[in-house]
Chain A
């Protein structure tokens, strides 16, 4: 047994032919921690998660899960993991209940035990009244909850969730977050991927920002914001691109940290109000609107990669 974290990855690489999806990443996940991969489409989050799930072979580098090597101990590792893939992969030939039962059987669990757990998990996923229905007609949020319930049938020590709330409405997202919080309180180690900043802020104790197969930074949400951003951000909008460009050229070289986006200008400042009044008062081209807000992980991402998540 290794002494380090529950998951240890060093110089981890995943290649698909010529394409390098994960390009040498290092991280550790500690017991009972919620760890996140934040990144845009194609960053390599799913490729990394599938290696952690011991389903996708490591191309290069070092990976240990529970101190074991997925190349040789895959089944033993997977017996202690819960995996919610990006696509739900529910078994549409089976009913809601049978999805749990048969998945539990894949783990070699006795039927009695599975039935007990299944009842509790259906309750947990708020699907008890749908237990005998087929899976296909369920809503997206219900399918996601079922996928989560199914992945808990073996009472995993590490729970891997690839974009748990993508495509869900705000209410469904909050319900899922609540479920994940209750698992966290029970001491389950969570690893999630997301491209939602608010999700990362809500759930993750620690996260890595991934871009193009690499980790560009690591820390708690708070730390990342402090490291890369000012306390506040001013969002200013202008009548035209030309006007915005004029303001940008004027602000460049003044030492103020700005990001010029297609539809707005972001100005980073510890005291947003002063910038806001500065933009309004001293410029011949006044913004049509300004908004002062707290810096978020979105801003961290922008500073680190030069792109917004919306642009991707």
Chain B
């Protein structure tokens, strides 16, 4: 049976990646784990906290789910911007794809699925490392992987859609520096969001990353609550709205 159209677009990305995965795996697979060791074990041994402030967790137990989701999102953001410009402008391979039975929406979906898959793969590696370091307290921790995937999707879909509206990569660096990096640092990843001033806290809560981090932490600690459904809903809304926007912008770009 033939692959669904949307996965045929994903296959192209997988093919390209299969030729250079070794060179790209350091930044997406190894670097996040090194970060966890440095922060969790190294820095964590210096951090003296009132256990209550970290919800009764050791520092490494607190940051492991945070970094797991945040590094997945960071990778997803990067591959939702420049590769999309390559597809529609620099190399233009999207334009060849839509001369086949694939529709612009398939090209969009294929790209986003690939981005999400890669982030999910890096989350698997990260989770294994975190488990070996003793930072995962519950068997429910495996759910941190799909959470990282969903959170990556919640970023990848709207960012991929946005990238397709652009004629150059001029704004991409700004997005990474002004949005993704601050979110990475202040979404309850490295310290609880309660330590932020109220305004900043509300701001962090507007974006999907904090919701993903909260969910992942619930998974690795095994402490779920009813509020987790709300987090899930926020991620779902970002992904769904981003997806619809992407299908539209890709149609405008590739079928004008």
Would you give the shortest CB distance from A161 to chain B, in whole angstroms? 12
- Count A interface residues, CB 8 Å: 33
Binds B, one of A24-32, A50-58, A247-255: A50-58
- Chain B residues numbered 136-185 whose CB sits less than 8 Å from any CB in chain A: none
Instruction: Report the nearest B residue to A89, measured CB to CB.
Output: B96
A309 interface contact, C-beta 8 A:
no
Given contacts A105-B8, A105-B12, contact A75 B99 (CB under 8 A): no
**Contacting residues, chain A, for B255 (C-beta < 8 A):** 55-57
**Contacting residues, chain B, for A101 (C-beta < 8 A):** 15
Q: Residue A89 contacts which of B9, B11, B95, B102 (CB distance < 8 angstroms)?
A: B95
**Contacting residues, chain B, for A83 (C-beta < 8 A):** 99
Binds B, one of A4-12, A90-98, A200-208, A293-301: A90-98
Q: Residue A78 contacts which of B3, B91, B93, B101 (CB distance < 8 angstroms)?
A: B101
**Contacting residues, chain A, for B99 (C-beta < 8 A):** 53, 55, 78, 81, 83, 85, 89, 151
B121 interface contact, C-beta 8 A:
no
- Chain B residues numbered 81-134 whose CB sits less than 8 Å from any CB in chain A: 91-93, 95-103
Complex CA–CA separation, A79 to B99 (angstroms):
9
The reply to whether B101 and A93 contact each other, CB–CB distance below 8 Å, is no
Given contacts A16-B256, A91-B12, A102-B12, contact A107 B96 (CB under 8 A): no
Describe A's contact surface by its main secondary structure: loop
A219 interface contact, C-beta 8 A:
no
The reply to whether A91 and B8 contact each other, CB–CB distance below 8 Å, is no
Q: Residue A55 contacts which of B9, B11, B92, B98 (CB distance < 8 angstroms)?
A: B98
The reply to whether A93 and B16 contact each other, CB–CB distance below 8 Å, is yes
Q: Residue B93 contacts which of A74, A79, A89, A154 (CB distance < 8 angstroms)?
A: A89
B254 interface contact, C-beta 8 A:
yes
Would you give the shortest CB distance from A181 to chain B, in whole angstroms? 23
Given contacts A53-B99, A74-B103, contact A106 B256 (CB under 8 A): no
Beyond the given pairs A78-B100, A102-B11, A106-B100, 18 more chain A to chain B contacts, judged by CB atoms under 8 angstroms and listed by A's residue number, are: A55-B99, A56-B256, A75-B5, A75-B103, A76-B101, A79-B101, A89-B99, A93-B91, A94-B15, A101-B15, A103-B100, A105-B3, A105-B12, A106-B97, A107-B101, A108-B101, A109-B2, A150-B96
- Footprint of A on B, CB under 8 Å? 2-3, 5, 8-9, 11-12, 15-16, 91-93, 95-103, 254-256
